[in-house]
A and B are shown apart, each in its own frame.
Chain A
Amino acid sequence: MIPVQCGRGGWVNSRSTLAKAMAIVGVAVMLSLAACSSKKPAPINGGENNPGGSQLGENGVGKGGGNSLEDWKNGKFGAQGPLSDIHFAYNEYTIQEQDGSVLKSNASWLQAHPQTRVQVEGHCDERGSEEYNIALGAKRAQAAKDYLVTLGIGGSRISTISYGKELPLCTEHDESCWSQNRRDHFAVSE
């Protein structure tokens, strides 16, 4: 059981005008989910033989395989970065046995690149309510963070975020797609 600290007040309350918040959104281009047109599960690559890994320094983070929300906004969603995704069983957040080697590869890469930080993103499939899935995704992200810490990666280098079921890699309504969407994605930054 993880105790939640219960301090006094201290909520940040910043004000802004709705006008600012309601800035016009540009015409959104429908995102091409090329990676999802195939119903096969996404390949799980080890960190070493993932070509995206070598591009980190040249292209910078956020050019693909970085933060999913940023990539989704920029129409670059679905690319793999230097670290590989792991996957989960339905409504579960325990690390599956076959993903131990993926996490070990990810940890090796992080150890070889000590200047980097990683944000673990928890994602869910489309079944279930929006809010429950955000909480479930947070559990999945935390599970991978805990695993990486036990492999010797400093906890201060690892942050977590959940996108619930909001950023699916694949939009078919079947298990071949759902299994791809139940994932942790690892976004690396300098």
Chain B
Amino acid sequence: MGQAAAQAGPITITIAGPGSQLSTIAVSGLKNLGGDDEHRVGSAFVGTLRRDLELSGYFRIIDPHAYIEDPQSSGFELGQFNFADWRSINADFVVKGSVSAGGAGVKLTAFLYDVAQQRRMMGKNYNGDAVDVARMARRFADAILEAATGQRGPFDSKLALVSTRGGRFKEIYTQSIDGQDLFRLTGNPTINLFPSFDRSARDVLYLSYKSMAPALYLADLKEQREAKLDSPHGRVIGGTISPDGERIVAAIERDGATNLFLITREGAEIRQLTDTSGINVSPAISPDGGTLAFTSDRSGSPQIYVMSLAGGAPKRLTYSGDYNTTPAFSPKGDKLAYQSRNNGRFDIWTIPAGGGDPVQVTDGNGSNEYPSWSPDGRYLAFSSTRGHNSRIYIMMVGNRKIISALTEGNGNDSCPVWSGWLGE
């Protein structure tokens, strides 16, 4: 799938940031330049883009029924349409574009316009297959956020999660952030937990009881194969893969004690990281691959610690609360999100990775667990029991706004992990 800037105009930053009033945006239908007479391609692009912009928390999408202009009879380039048609329905921004589809694939052009200033802010050309169209929309949503906020959006990425939607067994799934492309990775009637991605979302590491005892499995989504990782040191009960996909930190239980080990992706041991008779679990690796965060009961209750993956003494980070666990590094590596228990339920908190004051970011509604950062660092995905079932939600960290559920349907969803941006 190719992408190029289409004569991008000067970028005007008009959105102040989280907490400001939502901007209004109209996403017009695409003009069919040939081969998309039933608007299948155009609708897939526009529908995905509207959903992603809604999930961003920055925009209110103006109802398409209010749109005055007919995209097919008007143009999409600057000067070929009337800004008054968009100003009169109170649009701050409008997206317009065109599509042609045929044997050579899909060619798609989209522009973001600032209605008040009557100027083009950004434009992109995309070439690819029909199956790539939703991804073109996600990339355009990310580009809109970049044009409007100065920071690329997070939607060209994936979510991995655990769900019982297929029955009573916990299976691993992946999906887009906007809920499309649901893919069931595991299909064994046992217990599957703790998916983690490498940065490119090519590999998924997860824990499974499919052999009737827990072990880690490293699935290569591209090659459609996987490797089982057992340990000579004991029973593997958890783990995470490093952002570069080269290393794994595994939690291994022996004689009741659970400790963390650094291993290669092929399973060769590099070093033992913790050595206590208690519990050391929930490893998280920093984006630069240098630091480990984990949960340990060495103080008498579960607390978050950080240490160098080169070894050395851990440093305790959390001191308030008697149950802090499931740390996740922000993409810059400067913060950790984690879950902290209060009155029998959990809330999500953040804390500086070097130590400092914790900040509560969820609101005490239901039990809120297993935070994972978006690749741009503005959002967290987490599981919550605030509704009838446990669902995955997206929130904006800066203003603590819970934007939307990211999952729906039968069963309970848990253990969300947000990948990095997908490759070209």
Q: Which residues of A contact B (CB under 8 A)?
A: 1-19, 21-28, 30-31, 67, 69-70, 73, 91, 93, 127-132, 134-136, 138-139, 141-143, 160-163, 166-167
Contact of A131 with B233 in the complex, beta carbons under 8 Å: no
Q: Lowest 3 A-B CB distances belong to which pairs?
A: A28-B167, A142-B256, A11-B267
Offer 15 A-B interface pairs, CB within 8 angstroms, sorted by A. Answer: A2-B256, A4-B233, A4-B252, A7-B232, A9-B267, A11-B268, A12-B228, A12-B229, A21-B186, A21-B219, A131-B325, A132-B325, A141-B256, A161-B213, A166-B191
Out of B185, B266, B276, name the residue touching A1 (CB < 8 Å).
Answer: B276
Question: Is residue B24 contacting chain A, with contact meaning CB distance below 8 A?
Answer: no
Q: How far is the CB of A56 from chain B (nearest CB, A)?
A: 20
Majority DSSP secondary structure for residues of B touching A = strand
> Which residues of chain B are near A23, meaning CB under 8 Å?
187-188
Q: How far is the CB of A82 from chain B (nearest CB, A)?
A: 21
Known contacts A129-B370, A132-B302; is A11 also within 8 Å of B232 by CB?
A: yes
> Which residues of chain B are near A129, meaning CB under 8 Å?
281-282, 295, 302, 325-326, 339, 369-370
> Which residues of chain B are near A139, meaning CB under 8 Å?
256, 278-279
* B256 nearest in chain A by CB position: A142
Known contacts A11-B232, A161-B213; is A30 also within 8 Å of B279 by CB?
A: no
Contact of A131 with B267 in the complex, beta carbons under 8 Å: no
Stretch binding the partner chain, chosen from B27-35, B87-95, B234-242, B354-362: B234-242
User: Chain B, 254-277, contact with A by CB distance < 8 Å: what is the 0/1 string?
Assistant: 111111000100111100100111
> Which residues of chain B are near A142, meaning CB under 8 Å?
255-256
Contact of B191 with A1 in the complex, beta carbons under 8 Å: no
Contact of B281 with A21 in the complex, beta carbons under 8 Å: no
> Which residues of chain A are near B166, meaning CB under 8 Å?
25, 28
User: Chain B, 294-312, contact with A by CB distance < 8 Å: what is the 0/1 string?
Assistant: 0100000110000000000
Known contacts A1-B276, A9-B269, A25-B187; is A18 also within 8 Å of B169 by CB?
A: no
Question: A21 CA to B323 CA in the complex, in Å?
Answer: 35
Question: Is residue B291 contacting chain A, with contact meaning CB distance below 8 A?
Answer: no
* B269 nearest in chain A by CB position: A9
Contact of A135 with B229 in the complex, beta carbons under 8 Å: no
Question: A22 CA to B171 CA in the complex, in Å?
Answer: 10
* B166 nearest in chain A by CB position: A25
Out of A5, A24, A31, A135, name the residue touching B233 (CB < 8 Å).
Answer: A5
* B274 nearest in chain A by CB position: A4
* A128 nearest in chain B by CB position: B323
> Which residues of chain B are near A19, meaning CB under 8 Å?
224
> Which residues of chain A are near B281, meaning CB under 8 Å?
129, 131-132, 134-135
Contact of A21 with B325 in the complex, beta carbons under 8 Å: no
Q: How far is the CB of A36 from chain B (nearest CB, A)?
A: 14
Known contacts A4-B233, A16-B228; is A73 also within 8 Å of B190 by CB?
A: yes
> Which residues of chain A are near B369, meaning CB under 8 Å?
129
Contact of B167 with A9 in the complex, beta carbons under 8 Å: no
Out of A12, A70, A136, name the residue touching B279 (CB < 8 Å).
Answer: A136
> Which residues of chain B are near A16, meaning CB under 8 Å?
225-226, 228
Out of B171, B256, B282, name the residue touching A131 (CB < 8 Å).
Answer: B282
Contact of B194 with A131 in the complex, beta carbons under 8 Å: yes
Q: Which of A9, A27, A138 has the most CB of B within 10 A?
A: A138
B:136-162 near A, CB below 8 Å: none
Question: A84 CA to B251 CA in the complex, in Å?
Answer: 30
